[in-house]
Amino acid sequence: MSTFGSLVLARSEPLLVHLPQVRSAFGSMWRHLEERGGGWQLLDMAPPMPHQWPTVGAGPADLAAVTGAPVLAAFVSDTSCVQLVGAVPDGRSFSSHVVEDSDGKCGFDHHRFNTLRLPVGVDPSPPDLPALAADLATWATAAGLDASPHRVRATLHESEYPELFYDLADALGLPAGEDIDALFDHQELDWYWAWQRGWDAGTRVCRRWTSALRATASHQCDLPQPADQDFIGFIERVADSMYGGPLTRQDLVEEACRLTSKWP
């Protein structure tokens, strides 16, 4: 269960992990995927891969448009807060910062490091749980779900942050989830070194991005290296293939061997 990362509830025929709108909004560090009945899926993701931080943050609107169904998303910042965002295909959306502090403060940087990123200069507003409950009721109606208003309100008031999104899925009338198993994990021993080099290359991308935001110079060790794009591409292909995709495990093993031979 997510303690730091993104969660998405959407209705889709393709698996959510195969939709580019999920990757562009939340990254592709898949952690857990489950089917919730009627085509609904709940996807739990760790924070994005380092190279994805400069581009993630679009939120669920594009996903709602491409699936033709409402989407509910959350970014969980450990025990600090949850940013809840709902979107429907016609473009309407809502966003709420759920936190215990009555002023909406949580100490987390929602402008730079939240995959449901707030505009620069806009601070999280104090939580308005009755308004959020009403937004969720409207969203559930658009989604054709038989939500329990009482359970929705109780969830918002009583659920701990890591469990809040799963509890909301229950309160919105969805059945218990059935796991959709991955074929393998991101970081397998079969391709450990190639994957780690992709992660390190992405870390350099992220550091250059944060340096640009702060108007500071990047350290020499953060400059691009010739092999970086090859290894970043490799970890992307691993993510693409985890739930059935273009490459098998053996394909990935061979690709890792090829890259580590090309770039010793």
Contact 155, 167 (CB under 8 A): yes
* Residue at token pair 């002023």: 103
Q: How many domains does the chain have?
A: 2
The verdict on residue 184 lying in a domain is: no
| Coil/strand/helix, residue 201 | helix
Answer yes or no: do 152 and 252 share one domain. no
Domain finish residue from 128, 157, 179: 179
The number of residues making up the chain comes to 264
pTM here? 0.94
Q: pLDDT at position 15, please?
A: 98
Q: Angle of helix 161-171 relative to helix 149-158, nearest 10 degrees?
A: 180
Domain finish residue from 179, 204, 223: 179
Answer yes or no: do 145 and 204 share one domain. no
- Using CA atoms, how far apart are residues 154 and 156, in angstroms rounded to an integer? 5
Under-70 pLDDT residues of the chain: 1-2, 112-113, 115
76 Cβ contact partners less than 8 Å away, ≥ 6 residues apart: 2, 3, 4, 5, 6, 7, 82, 161, 162, 164, 165
- Using CA atoms, how far apart are residues 67 and 137, in angstroms rounded to an integer? 20
Contact 41, 12 (CB under 8 A): yes
Q: pLDDT at position 146, please?
A: 92
Q: pLDDT at position 1, please?
A: 54
The verdict on residue 83 lying in a domain is: yes
Answer yes or no: do 170 and 208 share one domain. no
Domain finish residue from 148, 179, 210: 179
The sign of the dihedral angle between the CA atoms of 186, 189, 195, 199 is positive
Q: pLDDT at position 125, please?
A: 80
Contact 117, 109 (CB under 8 A): no
